[in-house]
Structure 1
Amino acid sequence: MSINRRDLFRTAGMALGVAGAGAFLSACGTSAPAAGPVRNTGVTTARPGGVLRAVFTGGGAAENLDPFGSGSPVDFVRSDVVFDSLFTLHAGEVVPALATGVEVGPGATSFTLKLRDGVKWHDGTPFTAQDVVYSFTYMSSADRAYPSELGRYFDFTAVQVRDPLTLVVPARQPIGDPALFLAAFPGKVVKNGAAFAGTTAIGTGAYQLTAFEAGREARLKRFEDHWGGKAPADELVLLSLTDPQAKVNAVVTDQADYAGDIPFTTAKTGVASADLEVRTAGEANRTAFGWVLNTTRAPFDDPRARKAVRLAVDRQALVDSVLLGYGVPGNDLLCAGAKYFSSRAPITRNVDEAKRLVAESGAAKTEVVIRTAEWEIGYNASTQLLVEQLKAIGLNARAEVVGPAEFFEPNAVAAANAVAFSSGGIPLTVMYGRLSAYPPLGLADEKLTAAFGTAVGSADEAARAQAWADVQDVMFDHGNTVVWGQADVLSLARKTVAGVDVRDQPKYPYLGKAGLA
């Protein structure tokens, strides 16, 4: 099975934000000392009117308007305001959007989906169940390079339409909380018959597209008939840049009002303007940095060797040197901030015990290759530091540094002993589902498999919570994820920018309620 690179984009992010703006700031002259990242110090509600200009990391000529075919942060941000989902996530909880609710059928093998009445497409036509049926078929088509993962869980070929606002969807396995799946993967809805070969797109979102140039910018105007109420700004301009310094530069030189996911050096150095502030998305929206160990190959098929790595890592040193202190040590579990996440103290570093486990498991006999790329800035630096720490416990480790374009090449990932990885606080269902779908990134464990099945299939909240606790007990005890740090997600904004909201991940904020105060 190949790795769905588009979904790993969204899982792992494409931060370009751990280092990098120092050269630009030096070139601009002396900057004011930073007081530290803050939560928005201004008003939180934007006033009606005006133009909001925001800049995000782009994908160059590969950017496109297909919400299921694009893969850069600016693509995700644009899609979120042009197209609506059936459900969204807010603070880890499911929020109704184009759908108002679901009714789980007997045995959790199907669900009835109720749609919102009165929703209009940007061209004025009504939104109906047929649009949802088409969207399900479109996103999961085998002809797509990367079909939606929702097709693994639901049989979209057998959807039944009961009336214009009701449909029944069969599941391929028991799914106790289908709304969470539709919110988390996510299930964007496109118009019946839609195609995205040109520079136009019709959605139901808060903004409608007026101009698009891949790798440069998109211009959008407020959709006056949005079901969720009018967006505050008259116009939204989304700029696409690939260099982190250029994103900072765009705000400093008044080409943009907001830059998402900026370098930590900007926060450390500061910006020479009383009108700007470095913002943090907060503790609940940090990004986990670490590695996934390949348990299909020696030495990490042995839980003792996996434990040795965890004991060898100097988490605080990595936070201080790679994140410049903007974060906290990780506890080796992914999805911090998500519902059901197990908050427990990181394992205590113990080099002597790590050496003993290496010797006991015979791990020193195998070369340990750790695959990395500057997919996010900090991957390579942290991996090089890990290599030195692993050598100190007797492992023959080396970093395999490749380019971002080839980083997730499936055969190469399968051949490596470990791969650098990162993740925001996405639902545990998404993370563990994606890892288990690809054996070199998953953990073959009977207790884990059983607990995951219960967590996904149970309609009982208490049973789900206990199952997720069991999943994480296994991962903490002898799992294959090594999370060394939880990194703050930072942005640069004018103090008048308000209403920026986190729905899915903070690196791709929702701007449908954003504007200027």
Structure 2
Amino acid sequence: MNHDLRGLPAGTGSPRSTRPGRRTVLAVGGATAAALALPGCGGSNDTPRPADGEGDGKPRPGGRLRAAFAGGGANETLDPHLTNLFADAARAKTLFDKLADFGSDMSPQPRLAEGWESNEGLDLWTITLREAHWHDGTPVTAEDVLYSYRRIADPDAAFRARSSLEPIDLEDSRAVDERTVEFRLKRPYAEFPNVLAAFGAYIVPDGADDFTEPVGSGPFRFVSFTPGRSLLVERFEDHWEGAPHLEELEIVVADEESARINALLGGQVEYAHELDPATARAHRDGDRVRIVSLPNSAMQGFVLKTDRAPFDDPRVREAFFLIPDRRELIDGALSGAGEIGNDLFGKGYLYYADGIPQRERDIERATELLREAGYGDGLTVTLDTSPVATGFVEAAEIFREQAAAAGVTVEVRIGNADTYWSDTLDSGVMSSTRSGSMPIESHVAQRLLTDSPTNATQWRHEDFDDLYQQAQSTRDETERTALYERMQRRLHAEGGFLIWGFADWIVATAPNVRGVSEDAPANTLDWARFDRVWMA
């Protein structure tokens, strides 16, 4: 299973607004339970158990929470700009802050930035910093912000957030005063606050380049770190949002899912990240662990290459959209842990076109479309898939059986998990895909424009590009929403993403853990918010 965060960066709001958006995904690699044999990782927590009737209301301060994640081995680092895995993101989030982060609907929410405002042309944005301090007591300043972004943008470095910062002209951006940053952009960008929340765009102290014992501005401060094994942090009393409830937090590494759930069952940890749906189902009704499903965290679907036969014919694409029984795919590939999709990314997110009717299975119409396209005698298609992510192979086999009803022969080809994403980006005709949560704007920019870096569907249309650029030059949110609906109606009718579902992300906790959000897709502000957690 692949534990990188492919396809998971940074919401959207009115250019002059920092209000929360309307109601409201990282991807997914091996140590054993032995990895949990760490100092301070015994079989019970030091937090005293409450007397009867206590612990379910007001948070209790104190205690150490131990959280198990899949890790990256002995080469792990605490450099937040090198964040790539879920474990990296969880560690960075404890020690550092970003200017903004994404709410559950993928709209940007202020963090170190107290607010933002643009000029009329949407190419100059002024960011006001809140009063915050580094762990050594010095204030967070505009110069820290500029240093951090210039470090991330270094073309000689391999920082993941670099592409997100591309719209900024950092040479012409400046610190107006200690708490005000002026970002000059290369072009109008109505949704620039998405950049502030980009995955890995953490703010570090001016000049920081050694993160052996990092000084951050996050809710916890550094105590010790052993790469591939454990990070121990302690409460930062002077955090701008208030001190965490926990006295200490330890993030430990256990790559295998079985090691994480067994460590939780055995009392070695109190939080286990990333469980399979089958494991969750087995423990959901028990009293030894508490299962938390984070809704709508991962898009699941198939890529149809729109530039080559047979999918260069929009009638064939529409036929394939009408073939799947989406509920059967959710139940069979995800053990029911998810909801059906409508061939559009971002269900429930800001700008999602929920007025487009849900597409239903229609084998008769699919067969008719294939006949019109010249495939009345049958069609054979190779579907590339891999055990690179939960449900990929299972979904491919289920779709193979479903497609036979329309006279389509699907040949499932299992690829190498280590090279699957690069192998299928430009090759083949149809492949399994997934994506973590990100704003719909980012999905379009990264995957659906002529020059998008990960345009797996090979969707390249200048008039579609123009609609996106028009949206980014539009100040009024209502008008911008209408433009996004036009883009989505076009994609729903003739795009190359067959999005059959949205998977839940599943974590588990000990029964005495409180404060874990149940309404936060992975890769959003309230995911892994250990500063909000307490021990009952």
TM-score (norm: length of structure 1):
0.86
**Structure 2: which amino acid aligns with 1:505?**
N
Secondary structure of the residue aligned to 2:315 is helix
Counterpart of 1:32? none
Aligned equivalents of 1:52, 1:238: Cα separation in 2? 8
Q: Is the 8 A contact 2:69 2:86 kept in 1?
A: yes
**More off after superposition, 493-502 vs 122-131:** 493-502
The alignment status of 1:171 with 2:185, answered yes or no, reads yes
**1:115-130 correspondence runs (5 A):** 115-117=129-131, 119-130=132-143
Aligned-pair distance for 1:217?
1.8
Match in the other structure for 2:513: 497
CA distance in 1, matches of 2:382, 2:58: 49
User: How big is the shift at 1:232?
Assistant: 0.7
Query: Matched residue of 1:408: which SS?
Result: helix
Q: 2:331 aligns with which of 313, 320, 323?
A: 320
Aligned 8 A contact 1:87 1:96 in 2: yes
Partner of 2:33: none
Matched, 1:292 2:291: no
Answering whether residue 196 of structure 2 is matched by residue 162 of structure 1, we say no
Spell out the pairing of 1:416-427 with structure 2 (5 A cutoff): 416-427=428-439
2: distance between equivalents of 1:300 and 1:173? 34
Residue matched to 1:451: 467
Which residue identity is paired with 1:515? W
Partner of 1:375: helix, strand, or coil?
Answer: coil
Structure 1 residue 441 displacement after superposition: 3.5
Identical columns (%): 29
Aligned match for 2:483, one of 467, 477, 480? 467
In the alignment, is the contact (CA less than 8 A) between 1:59 and 1:71 conserved in 2?
no
Q: Quick check: 1:309 aligned with 2:326?
A: no
Q: Secondary structure at the match of 1:161?
A: strand
2: CA distance, partners of 1:305 / 1:497: 50
Checking the alignment, whether the CA contact within 8 Å between 2:98 and 2:111 is kept in structure 1 is yes
Q: Which segment is superposed worse, 507-516 or 293-302?
A: 507-516
Label 1:194 to 1:296 Cα distance change in 2 as closer, same or farther (>3 A): farther
Are the aligned partners of 1:140 and 1:150 in contact in 2 as well (CA < 8 Å)?
Answer: no
Query: How far has the Cα of 1:115 moved from its partner?
Result: 1.3
Report the Cα distance in structure 1 between the residues aligned to 2:474 and 2:530, rounded to whole angstroms.
34
Aligned equivalent of 2:108, options 74, 83, 94: 94
What is the CA-CA distance between 1:84 and the residue it aligns to?
Answer: 0.2
Q: Comparing both structures, which one devotes a greater share of its residues to helix?
A: 1
Cross-structure match for 1:479: 495
1:204 deviation in Å? 0.6
Question: Is the Cα contact below 8 Å between 2:161 and 2:201 reproduced in 1?
Answer: no
Q: Is the 8 A contact 1:498 1:515 kept in 2?
A: yes
State the AA in 2 paired with 1:274.
D
Alpha-carbon distance in structure 2 between the residues aligned to 1:397 and 1:199: 51
Of the structure 1 ranges 291-300 and 307-316, higher mean CA displacement relative to structure 2 is found in 291-300
1:397 is matched with 410
Match of 2:80 in 1: 67
- Deviation of 1:474 (Å): 1.2
CA distance in 1, matches of 2:148, 2:378: 51
Aligned to 2:445: 433
CA distance in 1, matches of 2:507, 2:406: 38
Amino acid in the other structure paired with 2:319: A
Residue number in structure 1 paired with 2:398: 385
Deviation digits for residues 386-441 of structure 1, max 9, x if unmatched?
234345434453333233321222x6420122332223442111211111313334
In structure 2, the partner of 1:509 is 528
SS at match of 1:281: strand
Q: Call closer, same or farther: CA 1:401–1:172 in 2, change over 3 Å.
A: farther
Question: 2:96 touches 2:218 (CA, 8 Å); kept in 1?
Answer: yes
Q: Does 1:107 align with 2:121?
A: yes
In the alignment, the residues of structure 1 paired with residue 382 and residue 81 of structure 2 have an alpha-carbon distance, to the nearest angstrom, of 33
* Letter paired with 2:193: A
Q: 1:9 to 1:375 in 2, by over 3 A?
A: farther
Q: Distance in 1 between matches of 2:130 and 2:6?
A: 27
Q: Equivalents in 1 of 2:232, 2:407: separation in Å?
A: 55
Q: CA deviation at 1:449?
A: 2.2
> How far apart, in 1, do the equivalents of 2:445 and 2:409 lie?
31
Match of 1:331 among 342, 356, 375: 342
Q: CA deviation at 1:188?
A: 1.4
**TM-score normalised by the chain length of structure 2:** 0.83
TM-fit CA distance, 1:356 = 2.7
Q: Would you say the 8 A contact 1:175–1:459 is kept in 2?
A: no
What SS is found at the alignment partner of 1:155?
strand
CA–CA distance in 1 between the matches of 2:373 and 2:75?
Answer: 46
Equivalent-residue separation in structure 1 for 2:411 and 2:151 (angstroms) = 43
Where do residues 16-35 of structure 1 align in structure 2 (5 Å cutoff)? none
Residue 161 of structure 2 contacts residue 198 of structure 2 at CA under 8 Å; is this kept in 1?
Answer: no
| Matching residue of 1:351 | 363
Q: 1:374 to 1:324 in 2, by over 3 A?
A: same
Give the counterpart letter for 1:303 in structure 2.
P
The aligned length equals 483
What code does the residue aligned with 1:159 have? S
User: Following the alignment from structure 2 to structure 1, what is the Cα–Cα distance between the partners of residues 350 and 112?
Assistant: 22
| Superposed displacement of residue 81, structure 1 | 1.6
- Tell me: CA distance 1:44–1:304, structure 2 relative to 1, closer, same or farther (3 Å): farther
Q: Which residue of 2 aligns with 1:205?
A: 218
| Unmatched 5+ stretches in structure 2 | 11-24, 30-54
Secondary structure of 1:111's counterpart equals strand
